[in-house]
């Protein structure tokens, strides 16, 4: 069933001391946790679920042989994290699929006041607003590319799509953003 | 193609080129074409600007409010740390990625530095990691002003090639990013030198494997193997700061079951020694059930419950209420209602044992001096690739029993199972035959709820007479101090491939220092309690205390409160509560 902190059982278990973690897991934790959490959150819009998914990802990482992950640790982390999010969502039956339009946007465009929007001199805010108009798949790939800095191949590995599809998605996303930003005087 | 309406050239190679995703041959072909297409070059200028802005935007992205509330502090800014500044083990941990990214980096460098790249590229053949380190990480070396230095190098480089000419035009906006990348490359090239032997092979410091880490952990403390995994889930979270938070944390922790290791022997749950010691409360003659399904733990310390639970009663009740009819008492089977829903927070991933158990204790919402215990057993999911895995495990025989510690538990009852499904296990003094083994299927989940009358709890009027459930002298003499276990769940099972070899795993639920109120329990607990209460109210259970429809609805609503999209089943159940209330006398 759905479980949310603060009552989620896992969240209340005694933390394992960081120094007891294998060094390579700690290193990965330091390097990737924040990115993974945001990624998981962008997929689920559920902070508790996102953090749990990331926790579980690192727990799984502990069980891996470091040698087996050589060269694709980052992609592995994002892929496992993604599947954790999907699993958790299936469990809570909130969403049936991450594909197509199943994902909520990273922000609610309607939440922006039109008047305030017009006055937005901050191009970054405008950029974020523009990103919300992309498809969920495009948003996910944008994040994997520009936040996590994964390669096409890695993004393909994470999302289960082909490298070509990743290329097309990202290209379309950038093209859409350009078109949208072209309307913005500050841009 | 480049109209105002659609200013984007539609060739995905543009983006791939921008993001350095083209293979050398593709890149060469693309660049040849690029030279002939000014509109592409113009587009690339804009796209590079956009790409740069995007990189910045994601780097500086505000933490979503929902996450920020859960973080003690904002994520520290990133900075570069030279490889040689890392500890030997940290270096070793990164070697794998260095090697992986080398070809890509080399390509990138060749492109950027054209004619002069060869020497550098050779020196970084094994390099490529972007050494991002969170500032403030323990042991991190002081920051260095690397980018500006390398930026200078960058400007001095000759760049007569076509690549360079294009790059110079296009990279004004991206110069900062490029410099950062180059800075890292240089750092790596320098930092790697002492790390690699003359053959160019890395000699990383030994990195402990997970197994080694676990062994070390095991040596350092008594390890619950299953608990290890659970604990590990909160690796990296900051420790609670204030005393209040610590206390809250302790209480939450205490409310959750220990996912205990398999116990080698029965010695710690020696039921025989608990069975009817002097002064233990005496059950009614000839019956192990006192009233309302309550059993005395001093007499029946163990009870088994069915692993296979039908859920048909839920449909029957739903149909009745939809027809504005109160379901008959015998139609309402609490265990079937409860198991219509699922509760396990996550599927067990272990091969051995092939199931996990969640246990949780809180106040019984309808009788605050009683405890309510949720026990959820969940079998592993079928192995990947197995087509019809449910059948493959279906000959697996299993049996689950719950044993109560009489030092803590005066009496208990299993909610539901009115038809004898909850059979008292063969304990000394009991003649009830053992429950036969049942099939355990892949992915199977079953939840049982126990209401517990703790030792020392005030008597419930009508349930007991004359303080029957007061602490027994035995308990008062110190068993309570020596044993904090509330109950044990014992699961026996045999793998289909080795039917003769019966195994056993125990799961232990300890008494928390303070029993959480139902509001402090997990959502799963509250939902299970709501569904069971619903059944108790429909059945007119005589021991439902202060339960009423308001409480049932509060329980259910609190369980799904704040959810963006509650499951359809949950919404439906809330509707059912409404239907039932509408049937009450006096309802409009």
pTM of the model: 0.41
Q: Which residues of A touch B564 (CB under 8 A)?
A: 45-46, 94
Q: Which residues of A touch B566 (CB under 8 A)?
A: 2
Question: What percentage of chain B exceeds 70 in pLDDT?
Answer: 46
Tell whether the model's pLDDT for residue B116 goes beyond 60.
Answer: no
Under the banding of pLDDT at 50, 70 and 90, the label for residue B458 is: low
Q: Is A171 on the interface with B (CB under 8 A)?
A: yes
Chain A interface, best mutation among B10, B13, B96, B127, by max A CB count within 10 A: B96
Q: Is A31 on the interface with B (CB under 8 A)?
A: yes
pLDDT score at B216: 32
pLDDT score at A76: 92
Tell whether the model's pLDDT for residue B154 goes beyond 70.
Answer: no
- Mode of pairing for the β-strands spanning B294-296 and B397-404: unpaired
Chain B interface, best mutation among A4, A8, A13, A93, by max B CB count within 10 A: A13
Whole-number Cα distances in Å, A149 to A35, A142, B357, B568: 10, 9, 39, 38
Q: Which residues of B touch A81 (CB under 8 A)?
A: none
Q: Which helix (H) or strand (E) holds B26?
A: helix B24-36
Under the banding of pLDDT at 50, 70 and 90, the label for residue B117 is: very low
Mean pLDDT of B511-525: 89
Task: Give the SS3 label for residue B348.
Answer: coil
For chain A positions 98-117, those within 8 Å of chain B (CB to CB) are none
Q: Which of B92-101, B151-160, B482-491 has maximum average pLDDT? A: B482-491
Nearest residue on chain B to A57, alpha-carbon basis: B233
Question: What percentage of chain B exceeds 90 in pLDDT?
Answer: 9
Given an 8 Å threshold on Cβ–Cβ distance, is A58 in contact with B236?
A: yes
The CA-CA-CA angle for residues B394, B397, B400, to 5°, reads 120
Give the up-direction half-sphere exposure of residue B19: CA atoms within 13 A in the CB hemisphere: 26
Better pLDDT: B197 or B168: B168
Tell whether the model's pLDDT for residue A160 goes beyond 70.
Answer: yes
pLDDT score at B331: 86
pLDDT score at B536: 93
- Copy the structure tokens of residue A95: 């969403």
pLDDT score at B527: 96
Q: Considering CB atoms only, which of B50, B94, B347 is closest to A174?
A: B50
pLDDT score at B477: 35
Given an 8 Å threshold on Cβ–Cβ distance, is A18 in contact with B235?
A: yes
Tell whether the model's pLDDT for residue B227 goes beyond 80.
Answer: no
Cβ contacts below 8 Å, chain A against chain B, sum to: 255
Least confident of A93-107, B1-15, B342-356, B413-427: A93-107
Mean pLDDT of A88-93: 66
Q: Which residues of B touch A142 (CB under 8 A)?
A: 54, 58
Q: Considering CB atoms only, which of A2, A51, A168 is closest to B70?
A: A51
pLDDT score at B373: 94
pLDDT score at A183: 79
pLDDT score at B75: 33
Given an 8 Å threshold on Cβ–Cβ distance, is B67 in contact with A45?
A: no
Q: Is A32 on the interface with B (CB under 8 A)?
A: no
To the nearest 10°, the Cα dihedral for A132, A136, A138, A141? Answer: 110
CA A122 to chain centre: 24
Q: What is the 3-state secondary structure (H, E, C) of B291-307?
A: ECCEEECCCCCEEECCC
* Closest by CA position to B192, among listed B128, B101, B106: B128
Q: Which residues of B touch A58 (CB under 8 A)?
A: 232, 235-236
The CA-CA-CA angle for residues B63, B66, B72, to 5°, reads 70
Under the banding of pLDDT at 50, 70 and 90, the label for residue B165 is: very low
pLDDT score at A122: 66
Tell whether the model's pLDDT for residue B337 goes beyond 90.
Answer: yes
pLDDT score at A89: 78
Q: Considering CB atoms only, which of A12, A67, A178 is closest to B50?
A: A178
Q: Which residues of A touch B257 (CB under 8 A)?
A: 9
Determine contact, residues B580/B538, Cβ cutoff 8 Å.
yes
Tell whether the model's pLDDT for residue B419 goes beyond 50.
Answer: yes
Q: Which helix (H) or strand (E) holds B133?
A: strand B132-134
Mean pLDDT of B295-301: 66
ipTM exceeding 0.85, yes/no = no
Given an 8 Å threshold on Cβ–Cβ distance, is B233 in contact with A11?
A: yes
Tell whether the model's pLDDT for residue B4 goes beyond 70.
Answer: no
Task: Please classify residue A132 by burial: count the beta carbons closer than 10 Å to its beta carbon, then call 0-12 exposed, 13-18 middle and 19+ buried.
Answer: middle
CA separation for the pair B132, B76 (Å, rounded): 11
Tell whether the model's pLDDT for residue B72 goes beyond 50.
Answer: no
Given an 8 Å threshold on Cβ–Cβ distance, is B360 in contact with A34?
A: no
Given an 8 Å threshold on Cβ–Cβ distance, is A147 in contact with B344?
A: no
- Copy the structure tokens of residue A182: 């072209």
Task: Please classify residue B466 by burial: count the beta carbons closer than 10 Å to its beta carbon, then call 0-12 exposed, 13-18 middle and 19+ buried.
Answer: exposed
Under the banding of pLDDT at 50, 70 and 90, the label for residue B306 is: confident
Please list, in sequence order, all residues whose beta carbon lies within 8 angstroms of the beta carbon of residue B585, skipping any fewer than 6 positions away: none
Nearest residue on chain B to A10, alpha-carbon basis: B230
pLDDT score at B371: 93
Better pLDDT: B80 or B419: B419
pLDDT score at B372: 95
Chain A interface, best mutation among B20, B130, B225, B346, by max A CB count within 10 A: B346
Q: Considering CB atoms only, which of A24, A50, A127 is closest to B57?
A: A127
Least confident of B154-158, B219-223, B509-513: B219-223
Better pLDDT: A99 or B97: B97
Q: Which residues of A touch B343 (CB under 8 A)?
A: 1
Q: Which residues of B touch A151 (CB under 8 A)?
A: 21, 104
Better pLDDT: B42 or A116: B42
- Copy the structure tokens of residue B189: 């090239």
pLDDT score at A181: 83
Determine contact, residues B370/B411, Cβ cutoff 8 Å.
no
Better pLDDT: B551 or B308: B551
CA B190 to chain centre: 42
Mean pLDDT of B244-273: 36
Under the banding of pLDDT at 50, 70 and 90, the label for residue B261 is: very low
* Closest by CA position to B258, among listed B490, B525, B485, B447: B485
Given an 8 Å threshold on Cβ–Cβ distance, is A21 in contact with B213?
A: yes
Please list, in sequence order, all residues whose beta carbon lies within 8 angstroms of the beta carbon of residue B453, skipping any fewer than 6 positions away: B294, B369, B370, B409, B410, B411, B412, B460, B463, B469
Under the banding of pLDDT at 50, 70 and 90, the label for residue B62 is: confident
pLDDT score at A116: 44
Helices (H) and strands (E) in chain B, counts: 21, 13
Given an 8 Å threshold on Cβ–Cβ distance, is B523 in contact with A4?
A: yes
Under the banding of pLDDT at 50, 70 and 90, the label for residue A64 is: confident
- CB B584: neighbour CB atoms within 10 A? 10
Task: Give the SS3 label for residue B356.
Answer: strand
Nearest residue on chain B to A44, alpha-carbon basis: B564
Least confident of A106-110, A139-143, B372-376: A106-110
Tell whether the model's pLDDT for residue B17 goes beyond 80.
Answer: yes
Given an 8 Å threshold on Cβ–Cβ distance, is B15 in contact with A171?
A: yes
Q: Which of B190-199, B313-322, B417-426, B516-525 has maximum average pLDDT? A: B516-525
Tell whether the model's pLDDT for residue A3 goes beyond 90.
Answer: no
Q: How far does the CA of residue B273 sit from the closest CA of chain A (Å)?
A: 32
Tell whether the model's pLDDT for residue B369 goes beyond 50.
Answer: yes
CA separation for the pair B17, B253 (Å, rounded): 52
pLDDT digits (tens, 9 = 90+) for B229-253: 222 222 223 344 566 665 554 444 4
Better pLDDT: B170 or B399: B399
Chain A interface, best mutation among B88, B210, B348, B513, by max A CB count within 10 A: B210
Q: Is A77 on the interface with B (CB under 8 A)?
A: no
Give the orientation angle of helix A123-131 with respect to helix B38-59, to 10 degrees: 100
Given an 8 Å threshold on Cβ–Cβ distance, is B227 in contact with A74?
A: no
pLDDT score at B185: 52
Mean of pLDDT over chain B: 62
Q: Is A165 on the interface with B (CB under 8 A)?
A: no
- Mode of pairing for the β-strands spanning B485-494 and B78-80: unpaired
Better pLDDT: B447 or B90: B447
pLDDT score at B88: 54
- Copy the structure tokens of residue A180: 């949208």
């Amino acid at each position: 069933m759905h479980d949310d902190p603060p009552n989620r059982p896992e969240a209340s278990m005694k933390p394992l001391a960081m120094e007891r973690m294998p060094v390579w897991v700690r290193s990965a934790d330091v390097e990737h946790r924040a990115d993974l959490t945001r990624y998981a959150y962008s997929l689920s819009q559920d902070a508790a679920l996102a953090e749990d998914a990331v926790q579980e990802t690192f727990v799984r990482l502990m069980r891996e042989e470091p040698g087996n992950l050589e060269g694709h640790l980052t992609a592995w982390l994002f892929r496992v994290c993604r599947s954790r999010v999907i699993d958790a969502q299936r469990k809570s039956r909130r969403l049936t699929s991450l594909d197509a339009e199943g994902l909520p946007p990273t922000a609610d465009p309607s939440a922006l006041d039109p008047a305030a929007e017009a006055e937005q001199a901050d191009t970054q805010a405008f950029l974020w607003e523009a990103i919300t108009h992309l498809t969920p798949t495009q948003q996910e790939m944008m994040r994997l590319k520009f936040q996590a800095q994964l390669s096409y191949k890695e993004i393909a590995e994470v999302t289960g799509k082909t490298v070509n599809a990743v290329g097309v998605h990202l290209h379309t996303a950038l093209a859409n953003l350009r078109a949208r930003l072209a309307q913005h005087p500050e841009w | 193609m480049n109209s105002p309406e659609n200013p984007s050239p539609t060739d995905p190679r543009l983006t791939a080129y921008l993001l350095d995703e083209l293979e050398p041959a593709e890149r060469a072909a693309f660049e040849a074409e690029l030279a002939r297409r000014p509109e592409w070059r113009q587009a690339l200028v804009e796209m590079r600007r956009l790409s740069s802005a995007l990189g910045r935007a994601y780097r500086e992205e505000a933490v979503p409010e929902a996450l920020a509330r859960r973080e003690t502090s904002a994520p520290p800014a990133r900075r570069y740390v030279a490889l040689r500044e890392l500890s030997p083990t940290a270096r070793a941990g990164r070697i794998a990625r260095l090697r992986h990214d080398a070809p890509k980096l080399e390509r990138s460098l060749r492109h950027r530095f054209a004619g002069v790249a060869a020497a550098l590229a050779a020196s970084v053949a094994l390099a490529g990691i972007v050494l991002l380190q969170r500032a403030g990480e323990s042991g991190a070396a002081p920051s260095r002003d690397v980018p500006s230095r390398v930026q200078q190098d960058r400007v001095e480089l000759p760049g007569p090639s076509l690549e360079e000419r294009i790059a110079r035009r296009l990279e004004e906006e991206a110069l900062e990013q490029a410099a950062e990348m180059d800075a890292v490359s240089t750092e790596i090239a320098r930092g790697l030198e002492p790390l690699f032997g003359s053959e160019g092979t890395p000699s990383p410091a030994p990195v402990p494997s997970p197994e080694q880490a676990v062994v070390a952990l095991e040596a350092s403390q008594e390890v619950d193997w299953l608990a290890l995994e659970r604990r590990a889930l909160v690796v990296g979270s900051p420790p609670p700061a204030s005393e209040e938070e610590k206390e809250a944390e302790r209480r939450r922790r205490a409310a959750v079951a220990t996912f205990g290791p398999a116990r080698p022997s029965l010695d710690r749950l020696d039921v025989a020694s608990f069975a009817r010691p002097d002064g233990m409360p005496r059950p009614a003659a000839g019956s192990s059930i006192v009233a309302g399904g309550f059993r005395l733990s001093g007499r029946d310390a163990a009870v088994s419950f069915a692993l296979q639970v039908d859920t048909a009663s839920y449909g029957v009740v739903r149909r009745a209420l939809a027809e504005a009819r109160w379901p008959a008492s015998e139609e309402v089977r609490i265990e079937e209602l409860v198991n219509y829903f699922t509760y396990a927070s996550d599927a067990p991933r272990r091969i051995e044992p092939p199931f996990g158990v969640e246990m949780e204790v809180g106040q019984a919402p309808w009788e605050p001096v009683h405890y309510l215990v949720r026990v959820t057993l969940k079998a592993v999911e079928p192995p990947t690739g197995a087509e019809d895995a449910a059948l493959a495990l279906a000959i697996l025989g299993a049996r689950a029993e719950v044993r109560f510690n009489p030092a803590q538990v005066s009496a208990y009852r299993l909610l539901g199972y009115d038809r004898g499904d909850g059979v008292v296990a063969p304990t000394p003094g009991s003649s009830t035959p053992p429950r036969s083994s049942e099939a355990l299927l892949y992915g199977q989940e079953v939840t049982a709820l126990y209401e517990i009358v703790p030792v020392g709890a005030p008597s419930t009027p009508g349930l007991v007479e004359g303080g029957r459930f007061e602490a027994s002298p035995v308990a008062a003499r110190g068993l309570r101090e020596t044993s904090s276990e509330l109950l044990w769940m014992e699961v026996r099972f045999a793998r289909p491939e080795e039917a003769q070899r019966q195994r056993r795993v125990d799961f232990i639920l300890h008494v928390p220092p303070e029993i959480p109120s139902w509001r402090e329990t997990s959502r799963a607990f509250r939902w299970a309690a709501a569904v069971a209460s619903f059944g108790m109210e429909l059945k007119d259970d005589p021991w439902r205390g202060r339960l009423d429809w308001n409480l049932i609805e509060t329980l259910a609503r609190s369980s799904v409160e704040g959810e963006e999209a509650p499951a359809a089943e949950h919404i439906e159940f809330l509707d059912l509560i409404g239907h039932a209330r509408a049937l009450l006398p006096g309802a409009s």
